[in-house]
Every structure is written in C-alpha cells, then in structure tokens.
Structure 1
Amino acid sequence: MKLKQLILFCILIHIVSFTNALLRRCFQCRSRGELGSCKDPFRFNATEVEDEHGLATTPCASGWCGKVIEGGGTYSADDFDMAIQRMCVQRGPDDNEDRCAYTVYNSRKVFMCFCQGDLCNAGSSFTASKSMFVILTSLLYLYSRWNQY
C-alpha cells in the first residue's frame, strides 16, 4: 500500500512540475477594428494558431500575458479606431493578481488586462488553475480505482 502511494505521489509531482513548465505561452497578435483575428471575441486556441495569418503563440519567460484595447471610445461612429493587441508582458502587477484596468501605455490611455497562465490572454474562462483541478481530480479518481484492485 505504501509503495502505491509513493508512486502516485512521484507521478503527481512530475505532472505538476511539467504542467507549470508548459504554462508560459501567450497569444501574440494585433487587429484594428473588424480586420484581423485578434479582435474580441477571440475564437482561436493553441491548435488553430498555425493556420491563421498574424496570430502566434510565443514563449513568455515572465509567465504574464496581456491584452491591450486602444480607442473605441463612446463617441466613435464605428470601431475602426479600436485596436486590440495580445502579447507577453515583461512583468505583471506588483501584487501578482490578474486584473483589467485603464492605464497609460505607449503614451496613450488604454484598457489593459494582465493574466498569468498558459495562453490566458485569449479571454477564455478555462484558466491554468481549472486545468490543474482537472488533472488532480483525474489523479484522485485513478488512485481510488487503483486501490480497488
């Protein structure tokens, strides 16, 4: 019984460390108005990037991804002046909390979002913490099944 627990613990540690190593990519793109594929709602995942021009996934050493929305104010007749950019940021907020807020970026007032996790700047609700929950739940299920035999 103790050997089974030790093996499962080693597998769990390996999966967690491997998963954390993979969680360092961000979508990189820029679109203006209705043109391009970077606009919201963002409809791509990691498997579709290679087929879409102007869209890439890039490794991100900081682990922090960002999304910047420029223009598109309330007085705009259309959204042609609105631009959306997704990228890796060099460092996240000082308190290490995901957030969105108005800020000044490249001397312009923009709406910017920071998130930490693999491809989190897609805007999807499936975050790294949820994927870890799925992995841990699967491992617990396998462990319970293994103890029956």
Structure 2
Amino acid sequence: MNYSALVLLLFGLLVLKEANCLQKRCIRCRSRGEAGSCRDPFPTNVTETEAQAGIHVVACPSGWCAKLIQGTTGAFRSDDYGAATQRMCLQRSPNDDEERCAYTMWNHKKVYMCFCNGDLCNSALRTSTFPVTILLSFIVTIYSIL
C-alpha cells in the first residue's frame, strides 16, 4: 500500500476545507412586499447579483449568514406595505453554532430569522462542493492503492 499518497491526499482535503472556509460570502439585501428583489423564493441567480440593484455578495468573516423576515405576523402598522425580507452576514456565530430558523426578537420586534453557515447559504440555492471533493478523492485513493 502507498500510505504516503493517502496521507498527502488527506492533507490536501484538510487544506481544501480550510481554504473553502476562508471564502465564505453572504447575500446582503433588503426589500418589502411581493415585488422586492430580496424576497423568498430568491429570484436572482447568486452568480449574477451584480445585474440586480440592491443585491450584493459580501465577504463574511464569521461564515454565518442570516435571513430575516419581518411583518409576517399579520400585525402591520399603517406605514407597512408588506413583509420585509433582509439577508445579511452575521458578525458572530449563534451561541450554540447550530443552523436553524425560528421566531426571535430583533430590534424590539418579533421576526422570523434563519441562521446558516456556508458560502452564499442565505440565498435560495445552497451548493456545497466539499462532499463531491471527498468522493472524488476517495475514488482516486482507492484506485491508486489497487
């Protein structure tokens, strides 16, 4: 068996995983109502956000993104004209480091908020290349051992 190739491959996977963590980005936008560009389902392809006004892809050092929906409880004030959806990067991770969606208090208002950890995870599409990389590396390792 070629253990040095296996060790090198595992080291490469570790470096790839760490490099992927350094590149985490989030969608940043805010809009109200049905016609808003930040609403659910997210109408914009995350690779083409420059073409859509008000939608930005921003670097997120914490790696944690959020989506906040305000005004979904049906108790709109007279100046409200629809639910507001906001997507953002969080400055720090949640205390328990768990991805989840739940009702919470934000700026003294009850909102529905989702936390996620990953590159562009607060968009409609969530893609992860790491499991594919592991699978391909495993196949190459088995092939080189045999």
Same fold (TM over 0.5): yes
Q: TM-score, normalised on structure 1?
A: 0.82
How far apart are 1:26 and its partner, in Å? 0.7
In structure 2, the partner of 1:48 is 48
Deviation at 1:47, TM superposition (A): 1.2
Letter in 1 for 2:104: T
What is the Cα deviation at residue 92 of structure 1?
2.7
Bigger fraction of residues in helix: 1
Match of 2:95 in 1: 94
SS in 2 for 1:69: strand
The residue correspondences of 1:1-149 to structure 2 (distance < 5 A) are 1-22=2-23, 24-74=24-74, 80-124=81-125, 126=126, 128=128, 131-148=129-146
Question: Identity percentage over the alignment?
Answer: 42
Deviations 1:19-74 (A, max 9, x none): 1222x211000111022311100133431112211111111122111111011334
- The AA in structure 1 aligned to 2:21 is N
SS at 1:121 equivalent: coil
For residue 103 of structure 1, what is the amino acid of its counterpart? T
Structure 1 unaligned residues grouped into runs of 5+: none
Structure with more relative contact order (C-alpha pairs < 8 Å, separation 6 or more): 2
Q: Following TM superposition, by how much is the alpha carbon of 1:90 offset from its aligned partner in structure 2, in angstroms?
A: 1.6
User: Could you report, residue by residue, the CA deviation over 1:78-132 in whole angstroms, capped at 9, with x for unpaired residues?
Assistant: x9421100001122321111111111212221111111111111143x355xx32
Provide the rounded CA distance (Å) in 2 between the counterparts of 1:34 and 1:54. 15
Change (3 A) 1:109 1:50: same
- Paired with 1:75 and 1:109, the residues of 2 have a C-alpha distance of 10
On the 8 A contact 1:34/1:80 being kept in 2, the answer is no
Q: Contact 2:66 / 2:115 at 8 angstroms: preserved in 1? A: yes
Partner letter of residue 121 of structure 1? N
Gaps (5+ residues) in structure 2?
Answer: none
Runs of 4+ deviating beyond 6 Å? none
Output the amino acid matched with 2:44. F
CA RMSD in angstroms, aligned pairs only: 2.2
